[in-house]
Structure 1
């Protein structure tokens, strides 16, 4: 009898302890988020060092570290068109200590890679949007060696069989999508020569191996300045403030040829709201700093910023749009 009397309260005590522990943890979580960060933060970049995304991430990391008094380090996890690094962040703990700086390729990659090859994430549901960072215009670029001075000339020479290929930073990139939209609008078909990034593509463009390329301005700036390449058309609704003399494709009569590039900062799904707010406010503040604005201007990047909801809406819209375009054209990455 005594043994039975002694044993009965044990489950009640255990249940009471578990309930109390859960309550304490629930109270502790917001407090921990409010104190964030209390240790080093990693920003993952899914592309090689030296590219636009990597450079932007390092600017953000530098400023965040100064604001927070904690190290903020950039880690390059490359491969599979950027999907390896992105998927890594999607699976990381949702505590704010692993973040991602990514271009809009984030919304494209899952549609262009074969299942199981690295793009096993959903851009809309596997990340917590924090803030857009900046926007970049995409241009058609003609090489001086090819004598190309206008978009209409490219079309004319393509129809005559004199221009038949173009360089891109890779299959499934925004530049690849832009080329398909332009070809459809212009009634031509140029063969893509995909490279592993912009740098080797530019080497061949300037060196005479390819006549045309689709690119942002930043990597080409020195060659535009020396006349080795020419900006021919921009794939925006309006002209770029960084190249106001360059007409849009719509101005030239080529409809539905609009693709731009954005850069954003995100975290894993389920990031605490307090952490999201703290990072968002810090990034928006950084994007107003004069030295950051000047650095971004040098790469022809327009600082944007904004709210997490705005960034989420952009990702959702582009996920739907690119999904349809990629299906229509049968685009696949290498």
Structure 2
């Protein structure tokens, strides 16, 4: 073999070796560095508590730290926009809530498209609301509410409070009015606390609110529960009937938590994150934490969550448009 032939042979061997090694280098196993979990609400709230519990267990599954980053503001749109515009590599995750399904139709303009720019990973939990009235109200049941709601006029309106225009309490009630074909009058407040304060004080008779917030007030006799908002009764309050049971057909509305990643994230990465999320939610510690903030553990597949999310987007878009609700 000539010197030139030996050089060509050696070079070819080196190139073949590099070709064999390179794919392994390019396809480093996910994850190989810390992950960021972005939460659109302040530290200490229900979303933050749930997110941190899930992150802790997911990090054990993935063998990488998951750093929770709070980016509150604009009904979680700041956090959602951050993740939507992040690199689609699985290292930036959104801890999403029902707001993500509502905001696309609620706001005139958004800097991102929730349905196109984000990919569902797993629904983590679902939390029902309770429909409650002040005990002094003449409305004793959902049947009473429907009967009164069909007879309302400008002199005999039925008012309800909410945490603000476009809030869960607002849209849950508008969905009730639509399904039951009754007329209710909205009284928006700047937050759930002042809204509940006026219901407790008798200034406004009715409100939808988080089950954990309302249950102690019901047990103390300060509120009367009419119904739970979910399709099935809550394990936290099994004696309170659903709206569907009481004649409001197909009524099902819950607040929920779920994980999302930027569109374009590889399917293998989504699957890895989904498995870690499902395993985390199934642990007794995370399940207990979720229940402590009024949520029922779900732990869905990514395809199940995708179907659920798209159904939620459509449902709340219909409510927002029919009620003519909009936030600038």
Cα distance 1:200–1:23, how it changes in 2: closer, same or farther (>3 A)?
farther
RMSD: 2.9
Does 2:128 correspond to 1:131? Answer: no
1-structure distance, mates of 2:42, 2:185: 26
Displacement over 6 Å in runs of 4+: 21-26
Counterpart of 2:113 (choices 122, 125, 129) is 122
Give unpaired runs (5+ residues) of structure 1: 1-16
* Cα deviation, residue 188, structure 1: 3.6
Q: Which has the higher mean CA deviation after the structures are superposed, 191-200 or 213-222? A: 191-200
2-structure distance, mates of 1:245, 1:51: 27
* Cα deviation, residue 223, structure 1: 1.9
Tell me if structure 2 keeps the 8 A contact 1:234–1:247. Answer: yes
Does 2:21 correspond to 1:30? Answer: no
Task: State the SS of the aligned residue for 1:144.
Answer: coil
Q: TM-score, normalised by structure 1?
A: 0.81
Task: State the SS of the aligned residue for 1:262.
Answer: strand
Does 2:43 correspond to 1:46? Answer: no
2-structure distance, mates of 1:22, 1:312: 38
Q: Which has the higher mean CA deviation after the structures are superposed, 277-286 or 69-78? A: 69-78
Deviations 1:23-74 (A, max 9, x none): 988754431xx241413x2211112333332221121122234444543232
Tell me if structure 2 keeps the 8 A contact 1:123–1:315. Answer: no
2-structure distance, mates of 1:79, 1:302: 26
Tell me if structure 2 keeps the 8 A contact 1:37–1:68. Answer: no
Task: State the SS of the aligned residue for 1:286.
Answer: helix
* Cα deviation, residue 238, structure 1: 2.9
1:7: which partner in 2? none
Aligned length: 309
Counterpart of 1:94 (choices 64, 84, 88) is 88
2-structure distance, mates of 1:182, 1:285: 35
Cα distance 1:153–1:64, how it changes in 2: closer, same or farther (>3 A)?
same
Cα distance 1:36–1:196, how it changes in 2: closer, same or farther (>3 A)?
farther
* Cα deviation, residue 234, structure 1: 2.2
1-structure distance, mates of 2:141, 2:190: 27
Counterpart of 2:78 (choices 58, 77, 84) is 84
2:263: which partner in 1? 269
Give unpaired runs (5+ residues) of structure 2: 1-14
Cα distance 1:168–1:25, how it changes in 2: closer, same or farther (>3 A)?
farther
Tell me if structure 1 keeps the 8 A contact 2:95–2:260. Answer: yes
Cα distance 1:37–1:27, how it changes in 2: closer, same or farther (>3 A)?
closer
Deviations 1:255-288 (A, max 9, x none): 3433222210111112233332222111111111
* Cα deviation, residue 89, structure 1: 0.9
2-structure distance, mates of 1:281, 1:65: 12
Deviations 1:287-308 (A, max 9, x none): 1111222222233311111211
1-structure distance, mates of 2:124, 2:259: 7
2:212: which partner in 1? 218
2:131: which partner in 1? 140
Task: State the SS of the aligned residue for 2:119.
Answer: strand
Q: TM-score, normalised by structure 2?
A: 0.82
